[in-house]
A and B are shown apart, each in its own frame.
Chain A
Amino acid sequence: MAELELLDRVHAAIMERMVRTGQAPHYTELAAELGLAVEEARGLLHALVETGIPAWLHPGTDYIVSFPPFHNLPTQYRISVDGEQKWFAQCGFEALAARWLFPGKTVRVDAPCLDCGEPIALSFRDEAVLAVEPETVIGYTYSAVGGPPENRPWR
């Protein structure tokens, strides 16, 4: 395994970029930002995913698909912060955890119900649950949370 200190730096750089922009960096950008050789950054990106954190790359590529709680591809879980929407959550449950990356700010989750397509809206600020619409919102997974990454976003 790569040195943990380097993996910490790569994780922090990706997370900072996603929080700031809603998009994940390419490994060449990580290399420039962290003062690493390009191939070293690419290797560290793969090593980071292989640690077992619930992040993944598009199969056969070096492109970040998911970096929880965020998703680098649009999902039905749109995240807005203080009224600005530029993030997507990995899944409905990770949408609930996005607020921890935005302390002191109002984080709203908007999603359609997969059964009827009608809207679901949740709002948070830190520990506070500000709104749940409709009040009957429920969470469901058809298999245990975790497990193989290939179908995580769809469960």
Chain B
Amino acid sequence: MNLFRSEEHARAWASFNAEYPEGLRPLSFWLERFSAPLFRERARPDYISWWTRRET
């Protein structure tokens, strides 16, 4: 789960997995994904209770 300067750099990385191309996404995709409530709400005093309710 890393950031690279460009797609070319990611594909040139020694650990690039050509069999998992769906792991290569634009920054905007990861920004949206990591803006979900799961990530935004971590400062809640009841985070575990809240997170557990969402998981069940």
Q: For the complex, what is the distance from the CA of A19 to the CA of B9, rounded to whole Å?
A: 32
Q: For the complex, what is the distance from the CA of A95 to the CA of B9, rounded to whole Å?
A: 19
Please report B residues at the A interface, Cβ cutoff 8 Å: 1-7, 9-10, 12-13, 15-17, 20, 23-27, 29-31, 33-35, 39-49, 51-52, 55
| Interface mask (A107-140 → B, CB under 8 Å = 1, otherwise 0) | 0010101111010101000000100101011111
The one of B2, B45, B48 in contact with A53, judged by C-beta atoms closer than 8 angstroms, is B48
In the assembled complex, the CB of B51 is this many whole angstroms from the nearest CB of chain A, namely 7
List, sorted by A's number, 16 A–B pairs whose CB atoms are closer than 8 Å. Answer: A4-B49, A4-B52, A8-B45, A93-B30, A94-B34, A100-B41, A113-B5, A114-B13, A118-B5, A137-B3, A137-B27, A138-B5, A139-B1, A140-B10, A142-B15, A143-B23
In the assembled complex, the CB of A90 is this many whole angstroms from the nearest CB of chain B, namely 8
Instruction: Indicate whether A41 reaches chain B with its CB closer than 8 angstroms.
Output: no
Instruction: Indicate whether A45 reaches chain B with its CB closer than 8 angstroms.
Output: no
Assess the B1–A129 pair: CB atoms within 8 A.
no
The answer to whether A15 and B7 touch (CB under 8 A), given A8-B49, A93-B1, A140-B24, is no
Contacts of B44 in A (CB 8 A): 12
Contacts of B15 in A (CB 8 A): 114, 142, 154
Assess the A100–B39 pair: CB atoms within 8 A.
yes
- How many residue pairs between the two chains, A and B, have CB atoms under 8 Å in the bound complex? 150
Q: For the complex, what is the distance from the CA of A94 to the CA of B31, rounded to whole Å?
A: 10
Instruction: Indicate whether A152 reaches chain B with its CB closer than 8 angstroms.
Output: yes
Contacts of B7 in A (CB 8 A): 136, 138
Assess the A139–B40 pair: CB atoms within 8 A.
no
Assess the A101–B3 pair: CB atoms within 8 A.
no
Contacts of A19 in B (CB 8 A): 43
